[in-house]
Amino acid sequence: ISAASLQPEQWTTSANEAVKLFVTDATGAINFSPTFTYPIFGDAETIYGYKDLVIFLCFDHFTFKPFFNVKYSAKLDDPDIVDLEQVLRKFLPESAIYKDESKWADSIQEEKEAGYTIPGELIDSFEKDDSAYEIYKINVKDASGLELHKRLQILVLLFIEAGSYIDTSDELWDLYVLYNKDSSSIVGFATAYNYWKYPGSVKFDDNKREIRKKISQFIILPIYQGKGLGGALYSHLFDVWHKDEEVVEVVVEDPNESFDDMRDRADLSRLNKVLEFSKVTPKVESSWVEETRKSLKLEKRQFSRLLELILLYKLK
């Protein structure tokens, strides 16, 4: 058959439109769309060979166990057409359930009946808009922690540009999960890498370790964005690290515009509590800048940015 008679456009689907994401809630499931699909379906973000294609990828709000299904009205009879089940399996944990929705529901029920809890250490909690939130540090060395990580990580590809999977065999990675205790729902997560800094020979001999925490991936599920939860997760993590004697600086890997915006607001409100903004003038001593920056554990570029923002604010 010639390509013209095939009408290739009828067999080509935008992957971003074909993929329908869902997270269950108390009454059903909430739908949202991916921002990126190129890490899974290639740079053109298109899928060829199917008509009326819909790819369902659903997560349980509590255990995040995935279910996926591929539906279409026709498929080209050509061995080169990709098998979408196999493509998706490469990015999902082995426990992901394909096609059989009731098997998925039963398996979630089984996990809950077996006493499923977020597999990690509770490191902080807060109240926001009448809901109780908790932050867990997940141990990815532990089988259940690693499994939760595998369930969540596809979101990195779908929502962070140039996002990629972390190497969980590297002990220096941390995973944190933000959890709404009232609705038993995972709301977002972040990964951070612990860079060891040589602390100088004296501290080194005293066994004092110095760590630069690098936030690498940070996601609030789209259905919960714009409610101040990203800012709250970032601020609470920062406070936990600020109290940790080993952490000397918190940095961020390739922040995008929306992360920068959220971080600036969170950093400024933290600074507002500990700094007298009246002391910030264009003539401020560089030794004061360095001392203050170190005590706040902020990186140089971010601290100068914040000082500029404070100066701009004062000019208004």
Catalytic residue annotation: 253
Stretch that binds ligand ACO, among 92-100, 132-140, 220-228, 277-285 (CB under 6 A): 220-228
Instruction: Decide: 149 and 138 in contact? Cβ < 8 Å.
Output: yes
CB of 214 to ligand ACO, least distance (A): 9
- Picking from 125, 67, 114, the residue whose alpha carbon sits closest to that of residue 92 is 67
Residues 261-290 that bind ligand ACO (CB under 6 A): 261-262
Stretch that binds ligand ACO, among 14-22, 131-139, 225-233, 269-277 (CB under 6 A): 225-233
Of 38-46, 97-105, 177-185, 224-232: span binding ligand ACO (CB under 6 A): 224-232
Query: Is residue 225 within the footprint of ligand ACO (CB under 6 A)?
Result: yes
Sheet with 247-252, side-by-side order of all strands: 120-128, 131-138, 173-180, 185-197, 210-220, 247-252
Cα separation of 314 and 316, whole Å? 5
- Of 263 and 293, which CB lies nearer to ligand ACO in the complex structure? 263
Residue 256 has φ and ψ, to the nearest 5°, of -95, 180
Could you say whether residue 258 binds ligand ACO (CB under 6 A)? yes
Binding to ligand ACO (CB under 6 A) within 235-254 occurs at: 252-253
DSSP 298: B
Contacts (Cβ under 8 Å, ≥6 apart) of 4: none
Q: Smallest gap, in angstroms, from Cβ of residue 174 to ligand ACO?
A: 14
The C-alpha atoms of residue 194 and residue 218 are separated, in whole angstroms, by 15
Q: Which stretch binds ligand ACO (CB under 6 A): 6-14, 119-127, 216-224, 272-280?
A: 216-224
Q: Name residue 23's amino acid.
A: V
Pairing of strands 210-220, 74-75: unpaired
- Residue 279 burial (CB count, 10 A): 10
Q: How far is the CB of 96 from ligand ACO (least distance, A)?
A: 22
| Residue 196 Cβ vs ligand ACO, minimum distance, rounded to whole Å | 20
- Cα–Cα distance measured from residue 104 to residue 95, given in angstroms and rounded to the nearest whole number: 10
Q: Which is nearer to ligand ACO, 119 or 230 (CB)?
A: 230
Catalog residues that contact ligand ACO under the rule CB under 6 A. Answer: 159-160, 215, 217-220, 225-231, 252-253, 255-256, 258-259, 261-262
